[in-house]
Amino acid sequence: MSPKDTPLKSSFLDQCLAEDWQATCRQYQAFLDVPSRKRFHYLGKLFEHLCPWIENAIRGVTMRHFILLPKEMVLARMFAKACKRESLPKSHVIFQIWIESIILRDVANPKNELGANNGASGEPSALLQQRFNRLCLEDRALLYLYMVERCSVAEVSSYTGIPQVTAVENLSRIWKQVQGSGAALELPRGWRAPQATECDMVHEDRNPEVD
């Protein structure tokens, strides 16, 4: 594909998203037009339309801000809040910004259980969420890339621009802070904690023995 094709493809995708969002807005308006006592029967259809947009917004928040969330609970909460709106925004981008603002506000509120609640099976525990989300952004980014996205140390180094040795040293420090002195934290399946052996391997690669 030539560079000239890229704007055309982007414009086409934007148009498709806009049309899909308008279809969602029409479904939402149909939901509002139903008498309140009968809306319960239309929630399933509305959920089918709104769910992908909410999930995409949640995914964007976790990736931009590197936070851990009980995604099933957040999805349910955001859907409930959306159903109470008088209308949906004209743009799906504004809708996603609205969801992001609510999530970040709730995570920052120590009295709110969001980001500190045991979610569905396979999601991070409440304790892991609490400790992870309290890290500074730079530390969250490093650990998120390694632990959640399962990037290698070399990939983490490439993405962040820091040397591999520095990356593994920081990962070890950050994980000790998250782990604390209590019982070992249980990670969701597929996630991994930084390993001391990997740090040793990086140091060996950097300083090979000379016969």
Using alpha carbons, select from 188, 189, 183 the residue that is nearest to residue 69: 188
Distance between CA atoms of 164 and 66, rounded to whole angstroms? 20
- When pLDDT is averaged across residues 25-49 and rounded to a whole number, the result is 89
Among 2-11, 36-45, 48-57, 110-119, name the most confident range: 48-57
Q: Could you give the C-alpha distances from 172 to 33, 125, 179, 198, 204, in angstroms and in order?
A: 55, 20, 10, 10, 17
pLDDT in tens, 108-156: 876 666 655 666 777 888 889 889 999 999 999 999 999 999 999 999 9
Using alpha carbons, select from 105, 15, 121, 101 the residue that is nearest to residue 60: 101
Q: How many CB atoms lie within 10 A of CB 150?
A: 11
pLDDT in tens, 151-162: 999 999 999 999
pLDDT for res 210: 42
Domain limits of the chain? Answer: 5-108, 136-206
Distance between CA atoms of 151 and 154, rounded to whole angstroms? 8
- When pLDDT is averaged across residues 30-59 and rounded to a whole number, the result is 91
The whole-model pTM stands at: 0.77
Please say whether the beta carbons of 44 and 36 come within 8 A. Answer: no
